[in-house]
Amino acid sequence: MTARARILIVDDERIKRSILEDELKAGGYEVAIAENPLQAEPKMAKATFDVIVTDLRMPGQDGLSFLRQVKQRQPDQQVIVMTAYGTVETAVEAMKLGAFDYLLKPFATEELLLKIDRLLQYRRLASENEALRQQLAVQGPSRIVGQSESIRQLLARIHMVAATDSTVLIDGESGTGKELVARMLHETSHRSQGPFVAVSCAALPKELIESELFGHESGAFTGASRQRIGRFELAHGGTLFLDEVDDIPMEVQVKLLRALQERTFDRVGGEGTVQFNVRVVAATKRPIAPLVEEGRFREDLYYRLAVVPLHIPPLRERREDIRCLVEFFLQRLATRLNRESLSVTPEALRKLQEYSWPGNVRQLEHMLEQMAALNPGGILDVPDLPPTVLSCQQSGIVSLSLEGRSRVDLSKVMEETEASLLQWAIQKCGGNLNQAAAVLGIARSTLQYKAAKHLELPKEHMS
């Protein structure tokens, strides 16, 4: 049992109520008791219960009416009913109203413990299946496509790390496939039968990140009308993928560090400690080390996350993979768009290989889908390419392709690339050096120095 589940007992028999309370507490549960539904109401308003165990025959409001009322207010509330042998028909009616199970009096407490344990396992399995269903609805099979040396090294590291439970930190630009790597780590590990739960830390409001990760109790904050299970609990037995972990606020970083160190956490507004069995894989779109130096990310958390670092190179640094990526995506698109086949001409492929791909593999996939959707013939050619690709050489930015080269003059290439970027930024900003420097992320004085070195600019730009 990973959490101290809360049980509410509603029974008018004082001795039976007291025995159940003592034995359930001995079994590790938090227990509240009520003599009748009227006494149960204020307890249910203040706290959320994993299970309500109620008698069916009580003076005043009977258990069947109480069950109907509970289910109307909280359809997901789990209820086990207790009934005497002579009222089995009433127990069947309770099952029709949504009770999880029933017990015939007299019964041993061990029988109730078994039913509660089965109920909690059912709840966890349902949560895990729902998380998996949502993920599989938007994700295809995990496959990293590429033949470059950098991709071969990445795949080798993935297979080595997958056999362990070590925490992994993936870094790479947006669109490089960080979640794909995380999924491959999960699917090739011993946790593959468990859930894979992904959460984008950047997409969550800062005030809700802690609740999303660790869950909250009813009444923990304004709007928390019921208990919520967090992503750590949903991922129990599997893998939790924390995307864009560099966006987690400092105050939540403290709790995340404690969870990773102790393998436990507290729900927001909760008092009990919850244990978890989860392999954590985190990802960041930018290097964390500079954030640590700036005091924006905890150093101890950084080292706890980066037990095994994995780097995904941007597409512009592995242009030799563009051909096989294009073939892979076009094959998949042909099936999705109900086309007999899709292909790209050599000239169009060459221009795709020359493009700088700021959006990386994701941008390539979306661009190919756009081209295929607008071309009924199935052969994608240069006119099908979007303006961003066709104008890349006219923009003044050098697109470097290393395919087929046996030697490269690094100094010359770097000078040409720097000159090209300087000219592009100055033209983009209409000659305004302040704006051009801001676009390039450098000081104006640095821009002036580099421009004087590489470009022939009008004298008025040098001041």
Distances (CA, A) of 147 to 91, 150, 162, 177: 64, 8, 21, 15
Q: Which residues contact 149 (CB under 8 A, 6 or more apart)?
A: none
pLDDT at 364: 95
Cβ distance 235 to 129 under 8 Å?
no
pLDDT at 222: 66
d(CA 189, CA 167): 13
Q: Does the pLDDT at position 130 exceed 60?
A: no
d(CA 456, CA 440): 19
Cβ distance 60 to 36 under 8 Å?
yes
Q: Following DSSP, what letter does each residue of 269-308 receive, concatenated?
A: T--SEEE---EEEEEESS-SHHHHHTTSS-HHHHHHHTTE
Percent of the chain scoring above 70 in pLDDT: 86
Give backbone dihedrals phi and psi of 134, rounded to 5 degrees, phi first. -65, -40
Question: What is the pLDDT of the chain when averaged over all its residues?
Answer: 83
Q: Does the pLDDT at position 10 exceed 90?
A: yes
d(CA 63, CA 26): 26
Q: Which residues contact 296 (CB under 8 A, 6 or more apart)?
A: 250
pLDDT digits (tens, 9 = 90+) for 82-94: 887 656 677 778 8
Q: Which residues contact 324 (CB under 8 A, 6 or more apart)?
A: 145, 146, 147
What's the pTM value of the predicted model, to 2 decimals?
0.56
Structure tokens belonging to residue 62: 């009977």
Tell me, letter by letter, the H, E, C secondary structure of 125-191: HHHHHHHHHHHHHHCCCCCCCCCCHHHHHHHHHHHHHHCCCCCEEEECCCCCCHHHHHHHHHHCCCC
Distances (CA, A) of 411 to 292, 342, 415, 422: 32, 40, 6, 17
> What domains sit in the chain, N to C, each tagged with a CATH number?
6-123 (3.40.50.2300), 147-313 (3.40.50.300), 316-390 (1.10.8.60), 410-462 (1.10.10)
d(CA 227, CA 220): 9
User: Which amino acid is present at 40?
Assistant: A
Q: Does the pLDDT at position 4 exceed 80?
A: no
Distances (CA, A) of 48 to 3, 209, 225, 358: 14, 21, 9, 48
* Span of 35-49, 83-97, 262-276 with lowest mean pLDDT: 83-97
Residues 419-447 have a mean pLDDT of: 77
pLDDT digits (tens, 9 = 90+) for 324-369: 999 999 998 998 888 888 999 999 999 999 888 888 999 999 999 9
Confidence of residue 197 (pLDDT cuts 50, 70, 90): very high
Confidence of residue 394 (pLDDT cuts 50, 70, 90): very low
d(CA 5, CA 31): 9
Q: How many CA atoms lie within 13 A of 377 on its CB side?
A: 8
Confidence of residue 127 (pLDDT cuts 50, 70, 90): low
Distances (CA, A) of 97 to 36, 50, 69, 85, 186: 19, 18, 10, 19, 40
Distances (CA, A) of 289 to 178, 219, 233, 302: 18, 38, 29, 8
Structure tokens belonging to residue 445: 């004085």
| Counts for the chain of helices (H) and strands (E), in that order | 19, 14
The number of angstroms, rounded, from the C-alpha of 303 to the middle of its chain's C-alpha atoms is 20
Q: Which residues contact 67 (CB under 8 A, 6 or more apart)?
A: 54, 79, 81, 94, 97, 98, 99
Confidence of residue 220 (pLDDT cuts 50, 70, 90): low
Q: Which residues contact 170 (CB under 8 A, 6 or more apart)?
A: 178, 181, 182, 281, 282, 283, 284, 309, 310, 311, 312
